[in-house]
Amino acid sequence: METQYVEIYKKQHYGLVGKHSAVKVCHWTKNELTGGRGCYKGDFYGIKSHQCVQMTPALSSCTENCSFCWRFQGFDSMHISDEDDPEFILEESIKAHKKLISGFKGNPKVTEEKWKEADDPKHIAISLTGEPTLYTRLGEFIELAHRRGISTFLVTNGTLPMVLEKLDPLPTQLYVTTAGPTKEIFFDLLNPSIGNAWENFNRTLELLPSLNTRKVIRHTLVKDVNMPYIEEYTRMDRIADPNFIESKGYVHVGQSINRLGIDNMPSHDLIVDFSRQLGENLGYELASERRDSRVTLLAKDPAMAKIDFSAIGGSKF
C-alpha cells in the first residue's frame, strides 16, 4: 500500500489489505466475543457482532470530510487509480480480520463455541472509512461475499447515485448517511469535495425507493448543528421511503474532537424525542433503542427488523 499514512493506520491497528483496502476489529466484535454485549445492530436486526468483519475498499478515498467522523481521514484522492481484484480483497480482508482476532483464542472469557463462530464470519460491514462506492468493482465484491453466505452491509454518503443505480447485486442492507438537513448545513458539516454533492445526494434519496433491498437512512445528529430540523428530515425521509431510520448521536471521540465540542453530543433522551417526532410525522414506529450507543430505530414495518442473517447469507428478501 503506497500511502503516506501507512504507519498511522498500523498504529491504530488497521489490517491493511492490498493497495487500497483495510479491516479493523470493532469494539463490539471484541465485546461479544468475550461474553459481553454485541453491537446495537444485533438488537435492531439480529446480526452477530463476533461474526462481523468491518472493512473498506476505499481506505484513502472519499468524497466528503465529515466534521463528526472520528476516524483518521487520510483521504488523498477521490479516485482509486489502480484497483485490486475483488476476490483478492474479500479473501485477504477475511484473513486480516482473523489475524487481528487470533489472540482471543486463548482468552479464558472466550468459549470454544464463540471462537469457532468468530473464525467463520457471516457479515461484512463495508463501512470502516472512506466512500466505498468509489471502488468500481464493488458489485463483484458483494456478489462474491453473497456466494459465500456472507451478508453485506454497505454504508454510503449518497454522493454517487450513478453507482448505486447500477450496483448489481445490491448489498443485503444499504445505509445512506443523511446528516445535512439543509444545503448550508450539508456543506458546512460534511465538507464535500465535489461541487454537486448536494444535488447528487438528493438524487440518491429519490433513487432509494426503486432499489430492491433493505434500506436504512442514518441520521448522525450533532447538537446545535444539524438537529432538530424535524420538518427538513421528514421531507428527506419521505422521499427516500426507507425500511428503517437510525438516529445516532455524535460522539466526541477520535479525530472529531479537533472540529466539534463535547457540548455537541446530544443526550440519548434528546435523540429519543427527535425520533418520536420524526416517527409521528412519517408514520414509523419506534421499534428499538440502545442508550449506551445513543441510537434509536424507527421502522416502517417492525416485523421486518430482526431476521436470521446467518441463515439467509446474502440472499434477497
Q: Which residues contact 250 (CB under 8 A, 6 or more apart)?
A: 68, 220, 221, 222, 223, 256, 260, 264, 265, 266
* pLDDT tens-digit readout, 37-75: 999 999 999 999 999 999 999 999 999 999 999 888 777
Flag whether 1 is in a domain: no
* Helices 230-240, 197-207: inter-axial angle, 10-degree rounding: 60
pLDDT digits (tens, 9 = 90+) for 134-167: 999 999 999 999 999 999 999 999 999 999 999 9
pLDDT 10s digits, 74-105:
777 788 989 999 999 999 999 999 999 999 99
Domain count of the fold of the chain: 1
CATH code, domain carrying 222: 3.20.20.70
Residue 53, in any domain of the structure: yes
The pLDDT, as a whole number, for residue 307 is: 67
Q: What does the pLDDT read at residue 214?
A: 96
The whole model's pTM is what?
Answer: 0.94
Tell me the pLDDT of the chain averaged across its residues.
94
* Element holding 124 (H helix, E strand): strand 123-126
Strands 21-23 and 52-56: antiparallel
pLDDT over threshold 80, residue 1: no
Q: Are the CB atoms for 312 and 122 separated by under 8 Å?
A: no
Give the dihedral of Cα atoms 31, 307, 114, 148; nearest 10 deg. Answer: -110
Q: Do residues 52 and 136 lie in contact, with contact meaning Cβ atoms separated by under 8 Å? A: no
Residue at 251 is within a domain: yes
**The predicted structure's pLDDT at residue 316:** 45
| Structural domain range at position 191 | 6-311
What confidence category does residue 304 fall into, taking pLDDT thresholds of 50, 70 and 90?
confident
| Positive/negative CA dihedral, 127, 129, 135, 137 | negative
Residue 316 domain flag: no
Do 50 and 118 form a contact (C-beta atoms < 8 A)? yes
Predicted confidence (pLDDT) at residue 8 exceeds the cutoff of 60:
yes
